[in-house]
């Protein structure tokens, strides 16, 4: 048995990957390590789709580990997820990485090692007046191994440039950022056709709104989490916060959020295809595959892994 194996079950939002991971964990004795960038935060439950009741007696990690309002980053995730994975292996169990944050999944499966880069006040001051487009162009022109796909805000773009500049001055720090696709990671993608995915996204959104997603945001604000920080988390929290604070009407919120989630799912699938171009082998299994059949196929793929 290869004790360094890592099983990954990922896929776009609303594909049903959590329930699949739970089924596999029960059958194979796995412990789940979350690869969802927002389920990390306590109190952000409906908006992130934690669905903790699905886990039952299956142990899980990397959920509810930071307070809402905190801005957890990739460096912290890799540090904490690796510690969780090591602890699962020490107990003699197989770690199962489950989540749809492509950057987290790929970084772990590539064994990416990020340096702990300090803030550079002078550089930040020099970049302060640049637009997101200008920052993106600057980042693209730099010789950097840092991810440039997820540059959807000026703050993230400035941080990416900051890391790139640090690695330029300290080339030894960039060595761990190269990484190669791990032969020990089995990556399973829950594959769902576009129309089925769109239908499930719509159904799930309305179910979460009816379950009290707006009340969840109101509670977080009452507990001291700023609207700015909630909007930073994007998607549900961006739109619902704007509704709760009066910046957006209910119908506008629902339609805008639905479009944003569909676009997000499309970006997730683009990321997975990009992983294949970057040397990863992904195994696609249908979202509507029978439970026993799905588990059996994952077990077969694990057995076929080279040791």
Evaluate if pTM is beyond 0.85. yes
Q: Is the pLDDT of residue 103 over 70?
A: yes
* Residues 67 and 151 occupy one common structural domain: no
Q: Which of 176, 198, 213 is the last residue of a domain?
A: 176
Q: What is the model's pLDDT at position 146?
A: 47
Q: What is the model's pLDDT at position 176?
A: 65
The 10s digit of each residue's pLDDT in 222-268 is 999 999 999 999 999 999 999 999 999 999 999 999 999 999 999 99
Q: Identify whether 248 is part of a domain.
A: yes
Q: Which of 176, 195, 218 is the last residue of a domain?
A: 176
* Residues 250 and 268 occupy one common structural domain: yes
The 10s digit of each residue's pLDDT in 187-200 is 999 999 999 999 99
What pLDDT band is residue 152 in, cutting at 50, 70 and 90?
low
Q: Which of 176, 201, 219 is the last residue of a domain?
A: 176
* Residues 297 and 207 occupy one common structural domain: yes
Q: Identify whether 1 is part of a domain.
A: no
Share of residues in the chain with pLDDT > 90 (%): 78
Q: Identify whether 218 is part of a domain.
A: yes
Q: Please compute the mean of the pLDDT values over residues 55-76 and round it to a whole number.
A: 95
Q: Is the pLDDT of residue 208 over 90?
A: yes
Q: What is the model's pLDDT at position 92?
A: 96
CB 285 within 8 A of CB 11: no
More confident residue, 145 or 272: 272
* Residues 143 and 214 occupy one common structural domain: no
Domain count, the chain: 2
* Residues 143 and 102 occupy one common structural domain: no
Domain extent, residue 164, equals 121-176
Cβ-based neighbour number of residue 148 at 10 Å:
15
* Residues 230 and 165 occupy one common structural domain: no
* Residues 171 and 205 occupy one common structural domain: no
What pLDDT band is residue 2 in, cutting at 50, 70 and 90?
low
Q: Please compute the mean of the pLDDT values over residues 103-130 and round it to a whole number.
A: 92
* Residues 131 and 248 occupy one common structural domain: no
**Residues in a beta bridge with 185:** 6
* Residues 257 and 172 occupy one common structural domain: no
* Residues 218 and 262 occupy one common structural domain: yes
- Which residues, in sequence order, are CB contacts of 290 under 8 Å at separation 6+? none
What CATH number does the domain containing 16 carry?
Answer: 3.40.50.300
* Residues 161 and 253 occupy one common structural domain: no
**Of the ranges 137-141, 177-181, 273-277, which one carries the lowest mean pLDDT score?**
177-181
């Amino acid at each position: 048995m290869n004790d360094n194996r890592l099983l990954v079950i990922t896929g776009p939002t609303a594909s049903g990957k959590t329930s699949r991971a739970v089924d596999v964990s029960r059958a194979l004795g796995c412990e789940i390590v979350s690869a969802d960038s927002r389920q990390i935060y306590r109190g952000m439950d409906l908006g992130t789709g934690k669905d903790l009741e699905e886990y039952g007696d299956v142990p899980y990690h990397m959920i509810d580990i930071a307070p809402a309002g905190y801005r957890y980053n990739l460096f912290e995730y890799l540090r904490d997820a690796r510690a969780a994975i090591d602890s699962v292996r020490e107990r003699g169990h197989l770690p199962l990485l489950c989540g749809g944050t492509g950057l987290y999944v790929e970084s772990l499966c590539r064994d990416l090692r990020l340096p702990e880069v300090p803030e550079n006040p002078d550089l930040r001051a020099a970049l302060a007046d640049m637009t997101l487009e200008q920052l993106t162009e600057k980042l693209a022109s730099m010789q950097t191994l840092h991810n440039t796909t997820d540059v959807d805000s000026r703050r993230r773009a400035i941080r990416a440039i900051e890391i790139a500049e640090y690695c330029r001055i300290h080339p030894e720090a960039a060595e761990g950022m190269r990484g190669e696709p791990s032969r020990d990671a089995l990556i399973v993608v829950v594959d769902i056709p576009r129309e089925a995915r769109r239908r499930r996204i719509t159904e799930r959104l309305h179910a979460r709104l009816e379950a009290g997603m707006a009340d969840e945001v109101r509670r977080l604000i009452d507990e001291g989490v700023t609207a700015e920080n909630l909007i930073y988390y994007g998607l549900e929290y961006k739109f619902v916060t704007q509704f709760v604070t009066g910046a957006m009407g209910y119908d506008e919120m629902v339609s805008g959020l639905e479009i944003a989630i569909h676009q997000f799912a499309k970006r997730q699938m683009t990321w997975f295809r990009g992983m294949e171009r970057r040397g990863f082998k992904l195994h696609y299994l249908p979202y509507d595959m029978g439970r026993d059949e799905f588990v059996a196929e994952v077990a077969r793929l694990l057995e076929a892994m080279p040791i």
